């Protein structure tokens, strides 16, 4: 790349780009020259006198004092560090100058008085040095200002004083990434394979007159391998890969982004066949209709227009493919998605079980795994994670193994790494009080018990009262044992709600006082119920009518409500409140039935802080055997009965 030449250029053009700095340096040089010509310690006043002075002698202070004593001196000028004496003998004026005068000489003034010599004190070194000393701070200030401005504009790639050059923001490389490095996104790989072939043998396609898409939009949640896939396309075709991030285009200065787009396309065309990759294209391609942010809007529009013009500007005879990535396709301007631009979208979604296993295999190639490692279990326990998270788990496990001086990564390291990625880092140094600990122990035991008893709830992997991450004082980990689920039945959602309510229920039943610890649980329980009514048509409230349409659910959000009546809104609120109440009653009753099991769990938790799921089940089993209760597997019936009873109770209360 032309990186080096650009640097040199920068130096040569430094003064052209910085007229002010040039001026400042020039003035300093002139002043210096002037100063050394006139001589140190000379004042402007003396310069005027030089006409009548025939000779100037630089002498020692003691010599001047001797001359004064002799009575030959007619006038004296004093500055804080110099003395200048004019002798006037027979009309021949001689000037004596002494530097570094000892200022503590108390005899001088009385001596001058005695000899009746006119003397005057001059502050500083006279007019010229005063000029310098008053100008210097200003010059320094300007120097610093220009320096900073220069630096700033470099950081932003152009700007105040320099024209923007895109070289530094456009990355050019020839990646050796291959399709085998990208796993779990098989459909997406199939879709881009055609492009690889086109880039490898462009003539074939051009002769046939085949139309190959110019632009292709990779859409999917963060960390799923969009960038990786784009690189793999370049790697497989062995063509240059020009990448740039959308946010890098947007500058404070109008026009810079557009010129950068021009540069990007010029470079890519010069080295065709090639690939252009625009990451985070939503930063430039945001819908113009949605605009409205202060500033930057003009700039974004210009950049976007330039991008559109460039994409329209080359035909299928130029083997350049533009790939772009976004995780917010719904925000993109419609113009970007029109035919001949990014008219094809490829979904790069989160991996399923097989995909996760394949990704784990790719990333464990570079590390040492112990014999006991079973990646299948790791893949099973990481449902919902993206490729980047999985790569991170392998790395985290390697760090853990390294910390304990192990030669290989063991299964335990991987499992610990999974937990960390789910619940954030363990905060060993965070102390919680014994009171808090007790509350958390009952709260979490409640969740755990309910999760084990409810048919349809995910079984408990681990219960802990060691605080982790932000805000979480304790946690009950439920990891799906089987493949991740795409469908949930109604009874499973209800079980989830019961488990969520059990934390608060345990506090109320066993401590007799409630805490703020359940806030998040209640929020989630409410949300599930609301979705059951408004999205999934699972209740009588709205029947099958959908009141909320979900958009892009794979990107985890963006549900929009459709219009519904105030009466309906009221009904929804009433239903949610009464259902939560009803379930809460039922959960409390179940906890009371299993009080001793809860106490046993809390005992262990307060002791060792962590219980594995297996131990939880042992405690419950032991309790059930002791009390001749039906075993957990037959428990569903009991729960159904208890639910009916709880409902009666709730109704009686109202």
Contacts to Mg ion by CB under 5 A: 227
Smallest Cα–Cα separation from 39: which of 53, 26, 58? Answer: 58
CB of 396 to ligand ADP, least distance (A): 13
Distance CA 53, CA 75 (A): 13
Instruction: Supply 220's token pair.
Output: 């999917």
Distance CA 39, CA 23 (A): 24
Query: For tokens 């960038």, what's the residue?
Result: 227
Smallest Cα–Cα separation from 364: which of 350, 378, 351? Answer: 378
Binding site for Zn ion (CB under 5 A): 503, 521
> Under the criterion CB under 6 A, does residue 587 sit at the interface with ligand ADP?
no
By C-beta, is 359 or 497 nearer to ligand ADP? 359
Task: Determine contact, residues 539/533, Cβ cutoff 8 Å.
Answer: yes
> Under the criterion CB under 6 A, does residue 398 sit at the interface with ligand ADP?
no
By C-beta, is 43 or 215 nearer to ligand ADP? 215
By C-beta, is 278 or 547 nearer to Mg ion? 278
Question: Which of 64, 83, 185, 642 is in the footprint of ligand ADP by CB under 6 A?
Answer: 185
CB of 279 to ligand ADP, least distance (A): 7
Q: Name the binder of 132 from ligand ADP, Zn ion, Mg ion, none, CB < 5-8 A by kind.
A: none
By C-beta, is 80 or 557 nearer to ligand ADP? 557
Instruction: Supply 89's token pair.
Output: 């003998």
Distance CA 251, CA 411 (A): 48
Smallest Cα–Cα separation from 603: which of 592, 588, 615, 590? Answer: 615
Distance CA 202, CA 274 (A): 11
CB of 556 to Mg ion, least distance (A): 17
Q: List binders of ligand ADP among 293-352 (CB under 6 A).
A: 325
Pinpoint the alpha helices (H) of 122-168: 127-155
By C-beta, is 39 or 222 nearer to ligand ADP? 222
Q: Name the binder of 185 from Zn ion, ligand ADP, Mg ion, none, CB < 5-8 A by kind.
A: ligand ADP
CB of 243 to ligand ADP, least distance (A): 11
CB of 242 to ligand ADP, least distance (A): 16
> Under the criterion CB under 6 A, does residue 219 sit at the interface with ligand ADP?
no
CB of 295 to Mg ion, least distance (A): 27
Smallest Cα–Cα separation from 409: which of 364, 441, 450, 464? Answer: 364
Q: Name the binder of 189 from Mg ion, Zn ion, ligand ADP, none, CB < 5-8 A by kind.
A: none
Give yes or no: 408 in active site.
Answer: no
CB of 233 to ligand ADP, least distance (A): 12
> Under the criterion CB under 6 A, does residue 188 sit at the interface with ligand ADP?
no
Three-state SS for 228-296 is HHHHHHHHHHCCCEEEEEHHHHCCCCCCHHHHHHHHHHHHHHHCCCEEEEEECCHHHHECCCCCCCCCC
The neighbouring-strand residues paired with 87 are 73, 94
Provide the 10 A C-beta neighbour count for residue 460: 26
CB of 431 to Zn ion, least distance (A): 21
Instruction: Supply 481's token pair.
Output: 């044992």
Distance CA 396, CA 638 (A): 44
- Which span (180-188, 373-381, 481-489, 491-499) binds ligand ADP, by CB under 6 A? 180-188
Between the two ends of the chain, the Cα-to-Cα distance in Å is 78
Pinpoint the alpha helices (H) of 454-550: 490-506, 519-534
> Under the criterion CB under 6 A, does residue 235 sit at the interface with ligand ADP?
no
> Under the criterion CB under 6 A, does residue 391 sit at the interface with ligand ADP?
yes
In the sheet that holds 610-612, the strands lie side by side as: 475-478, 460-464, 610-612
The active-site residue out of 251, 299, 444, 508 is 444
- Which span (182-190, 268-276, 312-320, 531-539) binds ligand ADP, by CB under 6 A? 182-190
Smallest Cα–Cα separation from 322: which of 304, 344, 349, 300? Answer: 344
Provide the 10 A C-beta neighbour count for residue 331: 15
By C-beta, is 243 or 454 nearer to ligand ADP? 243
- Which span (181-189, 204-212, 559-567, 583-591) binds ligand ADP, by CB under 6 A? 181-189
Q: Name the binder of 362 from ligand ADP, Mg ion, Zn ion, none, CB < 5-8 A by kind.
A: ligand ADP
Q: Name the binder of 503 from ligand ADP, Mg ion, Zn ion, none, CB < 5-8 A by kind.
A: Zn ion
By C-beta, is 227 or 454 nearer to Mg ion? 227
**Residues lying near ligand ADP in the complex (CB under 6 A):** 182-185, 222-228, 325, 359, 362, 387-388, 391
Catalytic residue ranges: 444
């Amino acid at each position: 790349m032309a990186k080096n030449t650009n640097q040199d250029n920068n130096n040569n053009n430094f003064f052209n780009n910085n007229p002010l700095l040039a001026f400042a340096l020039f003035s300093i040089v002139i002043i210096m020259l002037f100063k050394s010509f006139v001589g140190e310690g000379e004042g402007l006043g003396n310069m005027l006198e030089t006409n009548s002075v025939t000779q100037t002698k630089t002498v020692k202070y003691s010599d001047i004092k001797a001359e004064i004593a002799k009575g030959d001196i007619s006038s004296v000028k004093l500055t804080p560090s110099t003395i200048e004496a004019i002798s006037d003998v027979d009309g021949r004026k001689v000037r004596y100058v002494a530097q570094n005068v000892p200022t503590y000489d108390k005899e001088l003034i009385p001596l001058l008085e005695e000899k009746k010599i006119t003397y005057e004190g001059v502050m500083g070194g006279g007019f010229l040095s005063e000029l310098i000393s008053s100008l210097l701070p200003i010059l320094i200030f300007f120097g610093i200002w220009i320096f900073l401005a220069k630096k700033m504009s470099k950081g932003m790639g152009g700007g105040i004083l320099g024209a923007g050059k895109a070289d530094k923001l456009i990355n050019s490389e020839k990646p050796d990434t291959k399709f085998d490095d990208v796993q779990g996104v098989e459909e997406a790989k199939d879709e881009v394979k055609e492009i690889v072939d086109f880039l490898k043998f462009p003539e074939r396609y051009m002769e046939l007159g085949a139309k190959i898409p110019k632009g292709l939009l990779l859409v999917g949640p963060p960390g799923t391998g969009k960038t990786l896939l784009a690189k793999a396309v370049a790697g497989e075709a062995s063509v240059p890969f020009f990448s740039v991030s959308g946010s890098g285009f947007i500058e404070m200065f109008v026009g810079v982004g557009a010129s950068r787009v021009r540069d990007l396309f010029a470079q890519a065309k010069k080295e065709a066949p090639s690939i252009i990759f625009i990451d985070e294209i939503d930063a430039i391609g945001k819908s113009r209709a949605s605009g409205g942010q202060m500033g930057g809007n003009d700039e974004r529009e210009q950049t976007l227009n330039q991008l559109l013009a460039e994409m329209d500007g080359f035909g299928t005879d130029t083997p350049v493919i533009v790939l772009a990535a976004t995780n917010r396709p719904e925000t993109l301007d419609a113009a970007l998605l029109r035919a001949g631009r990014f008219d094809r979208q490829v979904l790069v979604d989160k991996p399923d079980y097989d995909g996760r296993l394949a990704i784990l295999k790719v990333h464990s190639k570079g590390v040492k795994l112990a014999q006991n490692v079973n990646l299948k279990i790791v893949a099973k326990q990481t449902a919902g994670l993206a490729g980047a998270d999985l790569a991170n788990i392998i790395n985290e496990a390697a760090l853990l193994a390294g910390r304990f001086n192990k030669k290989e990564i063991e299964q335990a390291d991987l499992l610990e790494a999974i937990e960390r990625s789910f619940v954030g880092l363990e905060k060993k140094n965070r102390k919680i009080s014994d009171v808090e600990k007790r509350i958390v122990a009952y709260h979490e035991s409640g969740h755990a018990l309910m999760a084990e008893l409810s048919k349809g709830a995910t079984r408990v992997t681990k219960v802990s009262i060691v605080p982790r991450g932000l805000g979480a004082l304790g946690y009950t980990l439920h990891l799906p044992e089987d493949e991740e689920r795409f469908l949930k039945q109604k009874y499973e959602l209800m079980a989830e709600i019961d488990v969520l309510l059990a934390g608060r229920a345990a506090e109320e039943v066993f401590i007799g006082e409630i805490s703020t610890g359940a806030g998040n649980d209640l929020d989630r329980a409410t949300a599930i119920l609301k979705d059951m009514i408004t999205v999934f048509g699972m209740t009588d409230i709205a029947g099958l009518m959908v009141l909320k349409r979900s958009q892009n659910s794979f990107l985890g959000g963006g549900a929009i409500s459709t219009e519904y009546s105030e009466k309906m809104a009221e009904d929804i609120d009433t239903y949610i409140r009464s259902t939560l109440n009803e379930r809460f009653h039922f959960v409390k009753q179940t906890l009371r039935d299993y009080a001793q099991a809860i106490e046993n769990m809390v005992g262990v938790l307060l002791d060792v802080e962590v219980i594995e799921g297996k131990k939880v089940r042992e405690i419950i089993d032991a309790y059930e055997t002791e009390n001749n209760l039906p075993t957990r597997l037959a428990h569903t019936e009991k729960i159904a009965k208890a639910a009916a009873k709880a409902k009666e109770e709730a109704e009686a209360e109202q």
